[in-house]
Chain A
Amino acid sequence: MLDSFLSGKLKGRALDKFKIDLKNDASMREALATQKSLIKAVEIARQKELKSFITEELNKTTANTLHPKMRITLASAAAIALIAVAIFSLAPLSQKENKDTVQKEQKIPLTVAEISASDTAIAKPEIVPKEIKQIDTQTLAIVEPIPILEVEPETESIEDYNSNIDYTDTVEESMAFDFADDMSVEEDRYTVNEKPRVATEATSVTEQAEIKDADLIVRSDELLGKKTYTVYAAALNQGNRANATEELTPQSIDKQITQDKKIDAKNDSVQVRGIAVKDLVVEYWQSVVNYTGYQYNGNQLKLYGVDQLATLQFLELDSRLYIKIGGEQYFLENNAKHNRLIQVTNPTLLKVLNE
């Protein structure tokens, strides 16, 4: 009841009754006064506690709060520390790169003369002891070192060079391109007939000089000899063949042979066999990699790995060229590429070619 009265919760008749009782009862007034003072003491104690709490919290915050100058100092220190860490962490990488560079530079040692010639501390690359590498231009294969073929630089002028050129030979224009490959072939092995080849040769000499500078000797294929052969037509009936458009198949060839024989029997006359179609320049080449094959561009045939003494026969059938080497027939593709010799195995075709 006293609590309710003091907290203001007592209202209406209950409040009036309490007031009357309080007026008439001294002990009640005393109890009320005691309760009031006790509650006030509790409030004061709580206030004190809250004040001390605020003070403590503020002191904590003050202790934790840094002075602005101190904050700037600490931030600067942290930044410096971060930069230092970054530098130290990146330093090994840059040192490694430097080492790599130095190692690369040091791989080319200096000659004594060059070192003495230079007063600076900058290292100059030393000429590497001659280590000869042989590079095949055809295959770009690096093979075992071979003795250096020292090529003397060309001292002749272009006019003098031109005067030595033999224009009488029958090598065709398309050969000019091939000279670019034949850099180390001796001059007397060539038969040059056109002026543009001079420039090519000059270029070749320049390239040789450059290669010599690099201490590399480049070997190329070697021309062994040259012969001119006559190509004969292998057709039994040229007129019929000329009109033939269908593809050559064993069946069609058999059919054709049968037809031709019938014609022969009827007419009792032998069809012209072995009509010369054209002359073919054949060059015998020795490949540096012992390559066996051929290169045929329609007018000229380069044979690699074929003996010069071997008997060759050329036959043309359906605008296709066949070569007979030592009794074996081979088909020649006209594509100006290096091809392998492919033996003709078709019995019908062989029959036609061998007849």
Chain B
Amino acid sequence: MFGIGKIADHTVLDNIKQGDEQMLVYLYKQHYQMVKNFVIKNSGDENAADDILQDTVIAVWKNTNKPNFLLQSKLSTYIMAIAKNLWFKELKKRTKFKLVDEANHLEHHKDEMHLDMDQNIIVSLVEQMDETCRRLLFYFYFDGLSTKQIASKLNYANANTVKSKKYQCFKKLQATVISQYKKEDLL
């Protein structure tokens, strides 16, 4: 779709604000070589570069929809800055693991695993939700779309319907998670 030519930065941002997911693919392709070269030069490999770039474009996606977002540089510069930060963070994480002693590492790892496991359970519960509720929560909490935009995308009558539906969906998820936790506690 975006194989030919280059789209202007402001057009890319406008499309992201409209919820055009193809922009993620476009940004990925446009900056893949640049990010890959950087990651490989800094003790990384192609897989790490792939992960970092995916996280980067998703971060751009999320930030663009924030109310106070203002791009003050070229989009490629912004993306590269995010990619660098993410990669250095990842490198720090890796170094930190190497420095801690085995006992501490095991203890720390236990806590982290416990937390991850709890989070994964909630994530899986989110993924099991019905399509409409899941999309609604995604658009509202992650994409940062307004209730009006969500109403348009999900074919709701108006913004109030979206608010009402979002409340219902969130309560439903909350109830499911609480019931799941009790079940886990019982186990």
Bound: A48/B122 CA distance, A: 13
B170 touches A45 (CB 8 A): no
Chain A residues positioned under 8 Å from B170 (CB to CB): 38
B24 touches A41 (CB 8 A): no
Partner of A45, one of B134, B143, B178: B134
Partner of A42, one of B24, B54, B58, B141: B141
Chain A residues positioned under 8 Å from B125 (CB to CB): 41
Query: Taking the complex as formed, is B25 at the interface, i.e. its CB lies under 8 A from any CB of chain A?
Result: yes
Query: Taking the complex as formed, is B127 at the interface, i.e. its CB lies under 8 A from any CB of chain A?
Result: yes
Query: Taking the complex as formed, is A61 at the interface, i.e. its CB lies under 8 A from any CB of chain B?
Result: yes
Nearest-CB residue, chain A, relative to B143? A46
Choose the segment among A51-59, A271-279, A318-326, A342-350 that binds chain B (4+ C-beta atoms closer than 8 Å).
Answer: A51-59
Partner of A40, one of B21, B57, B119: B119
A45 with B123, Cβ < 8 A, contacts A51-B58, A61-B3 known:
yes
Query: Taking the complex as formed, is B79 at the interface, i.e. its CB lies under 8 A from any CB of chain A?
Result: no
Bound: A46/B139 CA distance, A: 9
A45 touches B25 (CB 8 A): no
Chain A residues positioned under 8 Å from B13 (CB to CB): none
Partner of B61, one of A35, A37, A44, A50: A50
A58 with B126, Cβ < 8 A, contacts A42-B142, A46-B138 known:
no
Query: Taking the complex as formed, is A214 at the interface, i.e. its CB lies under 8 A from any CB of chain B?
Result: no
CB pairs A–B below 8 angstroms (21 shown) = A34-B174, A34-B178, A37-B119, A38-B170, A39-B141, A40-B122, A42-B142, A45-B126, A45-B127, A46-B138, A46-B141, A47-B58, A47-B142, A50-B21, A50-B61, A54-B24, A54-B28, A55-B54, A58-B25, A61-B3, A61-B29
B174 touches A41 (CB 8 A): no
Nearest-CB residue, chain A, relative to B122? A41
Query: Taking the complex as formed, is B159 at the interface, i.e. its CB lies under 8 A from any CB of chain A?
Result: no
Residues of A within 8 A of B (CB): 34-35, 37-51, 53-55, 57-58, 61, 65
Chain B residues positioned under 8 Å from A41 (CB to CB): 119, 122-123, 125-126, 177
Query: Taking the complex as formed, is B22 at the interface, i.e. its CB lies under 8 A from any CB of chain A?
Result: yes
Chain A residues positioned under 8 Å from B61 (CB to CB): 50
Bound: A58/B58 CA distance, A: 15
How near does chain A come to B9, taking the closest CB pair, in angstroms? 19
B28 touches A43 (CB 8 A): no
Bound: A65/B125 CA distance, A: 37
Bound: A51/B54 CA distance, A: 6
Chain B residues positioned under 8 Å from A49 (CB to CB): 138
The A-contacting residues of B in range 158-187, CB under 8 angstroms, are: 170, 173-174, 177-178
A-B interface pairs (CB < 8 A), number: 74
B25 touches A38 (CB 8 A): no
Most chain B beta-carbon contacts within 10 A, residue among A42, A44, A53 = A42
How near does chain B come to A305, taking the closest CB pair, in angstroms? 90
Q: How many residues of B contact A (CB 8 A)?
A: 30
Nearest-CB residue, chain A, relative to B118? A37
Chain A residues positioned under 8 Å from B134 (CB to CB): 45
Chain A residues positioned under 8 Å from B22 (CB to CB): 57
CB 8 Å contact bits of B42-57 with A (1 = contact, 0 = none): 0000000000001101
Bound: A47/B123 CA distance, A: 11
Chain A residues positioned under 8 Å from B177 (CB to CB): 34, 37-38, 41
Nearest-CB residue, chain A, relative to B28? A54
Bound: A55/B58 CA distance, A: 13
Chain A residues positioned under 8 Å from B142 (CB to CB): 42-43, 46-47
Query: Taking the complex as formed, is B137 at the interface, i.e. its CB lies under 8 A from any CB of chain A?
Result: yes
B28 touches A42 (CB 8 A): no
B173 touches A50 (CB 8 A): no
CB 8 Å contact bits of B96-125 with A (1 = contact, 0 = none): 000000000000000000000011001101
A53 with B21, Cβ < 8 A, contacts A34-B174, A38-B173, A40-B119 known:
yes
How near does chain B come to A30, taking the closest CB pair, in angstroms? 11
Chain A residues positioned under 8 Å from B58 (CB to CB): 47, 50-51
Nearest-CB residue, chain A, relative to B61? A50
Bound: A38/B129 CA distance, A: 13
Seed contacts A34-B174, A45-B123, A49-B138; 19 additional CB < 8 Å A-B pairs: A37-B118, A38-B126, A38-B170, A38-B173, A38-B177, A39-B141, A42-B137, A42-B173, A43-B142, A44-B123, A45-B134, A46-B141, A46-B142, A50-B21, A50-B24, A53-B21, A53-B25, A54-B24, A58-B25
How near does chain A come to B179, taking the closest CB pair, in angstroms? 12
Bound: A48/B134 CA distance, A: 13
A44 touches B143 (CB 8 A): no
